[in-house]
Each structure stands twice: as structure tokens, then as C-alpha cells.
Structure 1
């Protein structure tokens, strides 16, 4: 029997969580379900597949402060937006059989929702995401997070992230681990789209690629320092945008490697660039999953990563991992891979294909309403 599936996001930005949502949404459409994506901002960096209904319920930019101790006025704002979402969903969509609330700010809002069948999807590890707040105001922060994540069942994108949740907050709700889906067919199709990499000064199978938003947790500065210590047989290509892009460019100049590093900005379709790379590198300080790892695996591209909490070690063997902050070790590993690429190709786990993951979410949601 067809189900009504609703995904809720802040916006359709081009990050891992949003890629997970669009991939899973397309899988549900193929399975014959009614699929809706609701956002609070009309920012759309990503295209949606046929059959996916797109909705925007604006929150009027009245809140989302960084403070984890919302005043009564701020709490009222959150409740107002949650009520606005509830009213819109019930009048325009009906009662969904499954609601997947993605990203912390959405989880916070939906803690006040009266809609049924809500599952919070955690894309990262809470102890890392809120490390500073937990240090500065531990009791206040824990109370707030227990409220947010105790409101609805939680699905975590890695077992490490789930254990982190339980360790931090206790058994405040039902939890499960469901990995992010990887649409191998779609990725390969997009990778085949024409892209003249030579115009970018690149040669097929002769560059290293890193795809991530320029954010502290993604480790761009560590990567640049490590790359400067390599033999630099191949250029380094950085795909993404973000607040630390200027700092990264400055560091590249300071290290004297600007002529070897290409900053290509955000790419709506990075797959031709990934497919033509000699090596994919992930240098995150922490991850919930590590989406680019499975994307590289889908394209049979060698991939290495920092052994950060919590996703990469569940996707890669030990030889493909290097400790976080080990700049010299990362440099050595990059050179090793460049000299023996075949040894670092890791096949994609077929259980990560979208229809498998889609069924797991439905099974978890069905179990909850019994």
C-alpha cells in the first residue's frame, strides 16, 4: 500500500544531509509512494527528481540563534513555526505515514510539533557538534538536547553516532542506525555527463580531490598542510564553498602551493570531477557518516580518510584511515596511494543502495506506530 513520506529540511543546500534526502526521496517515488520535501527556506542548490513534491513554509528569519538556552519568547517562536508546519502539512499533504526531520535546527522545531510518525535523523555526532556548548554550559546544554531528541525517535546515520547519542543523553528515546543511501546508478549517470576537465587545467586520473563545504570540521587547513609535505606529483582540487575558503586560499599561498591547488567552488554535479580523480581524500575532524566516501566507492575511485568519529571506520578498512591531526601521516598516506592506487579502491557495500535504506526507514517507522 502506498505511503505518504515527508522530509523536512532547512533548505535544499548541496551538503550530505540534503543529498541523502533527495536520494531517499527518489527511491520512495520509484517504490510508488507519495513523497514530499518541505523546507523553511527557498534556497535550492539541488534539483529534485520527478514525482517529488516540493513545499516551502518560511520561518520569516525570526530566530535560530546559537544560544542553547532559548528564552520564553524564543520558545514561543519555535512553537509558532512548528504549528505553522503542522497546519500546512495537514491541510496540503494530509497525515504522513513517515516524517523524517533532518538537521538539528529542524529537530529543535519539530520537538514542538503535534504531527505523528516523526523520526529525527541525526547526520552527525552530538558530542562533537555541541562540544563547545557542552564545555561552557554542560547542564543547560544537556537539558536542551534531551528535550530536542527526547521528543521523537531517532535514526542515526552511523552506529558510532548512535552510541554517541546514547552515551551523551541516555536512553531518552528509541534509536536505530540506518546508513545514508548511495544511488550508484544515478551517480554513475551524472559522472558520465560531459565535463572538459582540461579547461580547468586538470588531467584525467592525475589529480587529488576533496569535496566538502569550507567549514572547520572538514579539515581543509590540515589537508593543505599535509599536501605541502607530499611529493606533489598531482594537483589538489578543492570543491565546495564556505566561510573558511578565504583562509584556505591564504594558507595555500603561505605554504607556497597555490600553483598546485585548484579552488573550484560549489559544483551542483561534482561526479565527473570525482570520477576522473586519482584519489579522493576526506580530512574531517568528525563526521556522522562521510557521504563522499561511498560516492567515491560507487565510482571505483581510491578513497582515504581521517579516522574521525564516527562514520569512516564503518566504511573503510584500517589501511585507508589515518588519525585526525596526523599531518605527516596523512602526507605519507597520500603519497602511498598515488604510487599504488589499486590497493586503496574499496567496493561499495550493496546494502547502501537506496531501496534497501528506504525499506529500513519504513520498517522503523512502522514498528513505532504499532
Structure 2
């Protein structure tokens, strides 16, 4: 049996972490022995019984002051652990920069980096006086191994930022439609008690600048507000967003709910789903909503949405008036924003693309 190793810093609640778990399921369906290795024990998702889980704690290595020693030494320990406990993997897939900067020193074969964010935005390269130093550091990591980008927008940005020294392709995130549908059937009656209605618009995402909750709330305030707006997530800007809702007089129209490891019942029963992001890598919540036949309206941000949705479902970034108009239409006629789920996103098909990419 062939073995795949997926490496990520932790499994706290986020899109990348969910993507890693789903990709692992895809490799399991291909017949692989699947292992996930993380460097923090933190986990907020239920573990898939088809996957083997490992933790090597990076925290003690933070005491080594020099990064040129810290990461190579830890990578050596990672390699030893993998070879002793798992054996030599046929494929190693590193996810997110916290893992990539360690795995750059790994000697394990067939290693792929997955680029899940636009590099220029992630490292603020458009407004950073240390751009040249940062780009040099990133090239040292990413030019040595092939890179898989989760959207064409992410790949274009990677190539434009780091140059032709980078070997890359685009493979989208995987989405387990059957699992999403099953999880969506779990009860969640308490939301109806909070809303006092079973009709609402939904946004799912961390409270951070990229998600543009300020635009979302202002657009909602300028819409018909025929139905409540539910915000599902957590993050450093949550309290700031609550204050904005109060300033806009929306306390009775907006419901704030904490992060939920199973957002799918909320998606399934929503009248429509709204995304207001200024930037994305590949926005998971759109295919997830489509898997549940939920209509979607989104900003046409740098990468992701326009690779999934038609122009009718998109508005320009930071355009409050345009988003307000689309939200009003979404409340009146959600059917006009329905889009079929694309089965090319199924886990087994996505995992096979990784295999084919390495073979090529």
C-alpha cells in the first residue's frame, strides 16, 4: 500500500485545516495509507477514522534563537520520526507557511508545497519596504520543490511575485459532497430560537480584515433587510464588528454565532449565502454552499470566486451599493443565484490530480 503524509502546523478551525482533512479522505479513497503530521496538538475538527494522526511539538525548538538552526534541526527530527514511525512516504504534502519553512529542510522525497493564499497579500509585499528580503526568503523555500496552488489566481500571484524559478500548477481544494450533505442533516434548532424565523442570509468566515465584514454590514444596512443576517465565525475583529452592527442600528437584524466545526446545517437552511471578502486563496465556503444547493452571492475578489461562480453572482470588491443590491435580489429571488456543484471537486478526483502531477 502506498503512503501519503500531509503536514500542517495544527488542525484548529480554518479552511486550510478542513481542506487537509478532506484531501486525506481523497487519498484514502484512492487506496493510500494516509497520515497527518502536525506541530501543535491544537485541533477543533473531528478526526476522520480513515486517517492516522501524529504530533511532534515544535514549541521547544522556539528556544533556539537562530532560525538558521531552529528549522533544520526540527526538520531532521521530523524526518527521523516519519521514517521510524511511518516509513518512507510516497508523497509528502506540506500545507501553509508555518509547515513549509520547516519542510524546506526535510530530506523526504516527493515533497509538494500547497500554496493556499496569494503570496503578495499574505506577506504584504505590495506595501512592505522589506519586500526584496521577503521575496528572497520565499524563493529559497519554494523554488526547491513543486508547488500546488489552490486556484488559478493564487498561481498567477505566486508566479508574478516569486518569478519563473517556481514550478507550479493549480489543483483546487477537495470537497466531500456526501459528507457535507450528511453533516447538514444534523439538528440545529437553537438558531431558529435566536432568529425567531427560519429564513435568513448567512456569512461564514473569520473576523479579520480580508473578510470585509464592514462592507457586509454596510451593504446589508442598505439592502431591504427582509431577512436576518447570520454571521458564523470567530476572530480578532469580532467585537469591532459587533460595535459596527450597533452603530448601524442592526442589533435586531444580525445574529452573531461563534465558530462551529459543523457549519453545514446553517448553510443548508439559509435562504442565501453571502461572501464579502477582499481577498481569498480559494474560498471553501462557496463550493460547500453549492453542495447543499444554497444560492450564493460573492465579491469578485482576487482569486477563487470567479473560478466557481458566473458573473451574475459576483460584485466588485468593496462596492457597498452593488453588494446591497445583490443581497436584496438574493432575498427576493434566491433561485436566480443557484449554481450546480462541480463534481471535479470530489476528494478522490482531487487526490488523483496530485498523483498525476508527481508522475508527470
TM-score (norm: length of structure 2) = 0.96
1:68 counterpart residue number: none
1:19 counterpart residue number: 18
Aligned equivalents of 1:322, 1:198: Cα separation in 2 = 30
Aligned equivalents of 2:60, 2:301: Cα separation in 1 = 34
1:199 counterpart residue number: 193
1:176 counterpart residue number: 169
Mean alpha-carbon deviation: is it higher for 73-82 or for 86-95? Answer: 73-82
Cα shift at 1:61: 6.0
How many residue pairs match? The answer is 359
Matches within 5 A, 1:248-327: 248-327=241-320
User: Is contact 2:207–2:234 with CA below 8 Å preserved after alignment?
Assistant: yes
Match of 2:103 among 103, 107, 110: 110
Aligned equivalents of 1:202, 1:129: Cα separation in 2 = 40
Aligned equivalents of 2:253, 2:62: Cα separation in 1 = 42
Aligned equivalents of 1:229, 1:323: Cα separation in 2 = 16
User: Is contact 2:114–2:150 with CA below 8 Å preserved after alignment?
Assistant: yes
Cα shift at 1:133: 7.1
Cα shift at 1:269: 0.7
User: Is contact 2:26–2:349 with CA below 8 Å preserved after alignment?
Assistant: no
Matches within 5 A, 1:82-121: 82-121=75-114
User: Is contact 1:36–1:55 with CA below 8 Å preserved after alignment?
Assistant: yes
Cα shift at 1:30: 2.6
Aligned equivalents of 1:62, 1:31: Cα separation in 2 = 36
Aligned equivalents of 1:95, 1:133: Cα separation in 2 = 40
Cα shift at 1:366: 2.6
1:216 counterpart residue number: 209
Cα shift at 1:202: 4.8
Structure 1 residues 134-185: Cα deviation after superposition (integer angstroms, max 9, x where no partner): 5221211110111121121100001111111111111223211000111110
1:10 counterpart residue number: 9
User: Is contact 1:210–1:281 with CA below 8 Å preserved after alignment?
Assistant: yes
1:188 counterpart residue number: 181
Matches within 5 A, 1:357-368: 357-367=350-360
2:341 counterpart residue number: 348
User: Is contact 2:10–2:41 with CA below 8 Å preserved after alignment?
Assistant: yes
Aligned equivalents of 2:314, 2:60: Cα separation in 1 = 41
Cα shift at 1:27: 2.0
2:40 counterpart residue number: 41
User: Is contact 1:134–1:142 with CA below 8 Å preserved after alignment?
Assistant: no
Q: Secondary structure at the match of 1:176?
A: strand
Q: Secondary structure at the match of 2:335?
A: helix
Cα shift at 1:199: 2.6
Aligned equivalents of 1:228, 1:185: Cα separation in 2 = 36
Cα shift at 1:228: 1.2
Cα shift at 1:364: 1.2
Is the aligned partner of 1:334 residue 2:319?
no
User: Is contact 2:30–2:351 with CA below 8 Å preserved after alignment?
Assistant: no
User: Is contact 2:79–2:106 with CA below 8 Å preserved after alignment?
Assistant: yes
Cα shift at 1:203: 2.9
Aligned equivalents of 1:281, 1:262: Cα separation in 2 = 14
Is the aligned partner of 1:57 residue 2:59?
no
Aligned equivalents of 1:118, 1:173: Cα separation in 2 = 14
Instruction: Tell me how large the CA RMSD over aligned residues is.
Output: 1.6
TM-score (norm: length of structure 1) = 0.94
Cα shift at 1:91: 0.9
